[in-house]
């Protein structure tokens, strides 16, 4: 099988890999890391590479400087977006959702529009206490996109999702945590250490077991209890056939930290 090569850093998207944690940084700080036309495809390529590279065990998505992402870069004015072009953009959230590795959005400053929905596409969101969030589309006479119509109600419930999307208000970090939009809020000076600690814990975890748990949780809203139990049985059958589960049991008996290999 042909695997995608690691994408090169560009003016808009940078990649780093350190001890199993891949960090994707949006780099358009003059526009609060707004996503330019080339960046849409670069995001998709980056997520597809992460999916296939076994050295990537966890993923952090963040923005350069003091902001996460203000959404699409509309600095050149409105453009005609044909359905085919929107489907091209949509390859990004699909690739992110397909990632079997656990993902964390590190949010400082603004996360708005497609930028917010990029964060919502991650498994976990850690925000600074100065972060702000908005489904800003209605203020631009646009409807919600980049997966927000699917992701937002799963985070906060349908009623709150309609409030956020239809009113397009700006929500501060404390309110975002209260309504379940984000997982954790920390002082801005502790953001890197909080994200780093979670990313390191995930990267050191059992890849096969975590991937199966993530997949089952993602599919849970479309499953009956009987179907979920059957999926759990199949997943545990896979786990008990791996060296990682044998290593976990041995480490427990020997009172040591296990080392997982993903096999």
Of the CA atoms within 13 Å of residue 131, those in its CB half-sphere come to 35
* Mean pLDDT rounded to a whole number for the chain: 95
pTM above 0.85, yes or no: yes
pLDDT-based confidence at 82, cuts 50/70/90?
confident
Q: What is the radius of gyration, based on Cα positions, of the chain?
A: 19
Give me the pLDDT at residue 7, please: 82
Q: Determine the length of the chain.
A: 263
Distance separating alpha carbons of residues 46 and 51, to the nearest angstrom: 9
Q: Determine the pLDDT at residue 64.
A: 97
Write the pLDDT tens digit of every residue in 146-205.
999 999 999 999 999 999 999 999 999 999 999 999 999 999 999 999 999 999 999 999
Q: Supply the pLDDT for residue 120.
A: 98
């Amino acid at each position: 099988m042909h695997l995608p090569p690691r994408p090169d850093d560009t003016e808009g998207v940078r990649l780093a890999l350190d001890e199993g944690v891949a960090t994707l940084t949006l780099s358009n700080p003059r526009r609060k890391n707004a996503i330019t036309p080339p960046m849409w495809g670069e995001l998709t390529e980056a997520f597809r590479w992460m999916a296939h590279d076994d050295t990537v065990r966890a993923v952090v998505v963040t923005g350069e400087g003091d902001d996460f992402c203000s959404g699409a870069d509309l600095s050149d004015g409105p453009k005609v977006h044909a359905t085919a072009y929107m489907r091209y953009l949509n390859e990004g959230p699909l690739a992110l959702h397909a990632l079997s590795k656990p993902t964390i959005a590190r949010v400082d400053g603004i996360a708005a529009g497609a930028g917010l929905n990029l964060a919502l596409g991650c498994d976990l969101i850690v925000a600074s206490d100065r972060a702000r969030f908005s489904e800003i589309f209605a203020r631009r006479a646009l409807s919600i996109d980049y997966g927000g119509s699917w992701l937002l109600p799963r985070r906060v419930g349908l009623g709150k999702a309609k409030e956020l999307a239809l009113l397009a208000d700006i929500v501060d970090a404390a309110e975002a945590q209260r309504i379940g939009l984000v997982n954790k809020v920390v002082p801005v000076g502790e953001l890197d250490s909080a994200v780093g600690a979670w990313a390191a814990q995930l990267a050191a975890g059992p890849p096969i077991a975590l991937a199966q748990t993530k997949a089952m949780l993602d599919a849970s809203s479309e499953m009956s209890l009987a179907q979920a139990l059957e999926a759990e049985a199949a997943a545990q059958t896979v786990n008990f056939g791996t060296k990682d589960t044998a290593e976990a049991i041995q480490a427990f008996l020997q009172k040591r930290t296990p080392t997982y290999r993903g096999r």
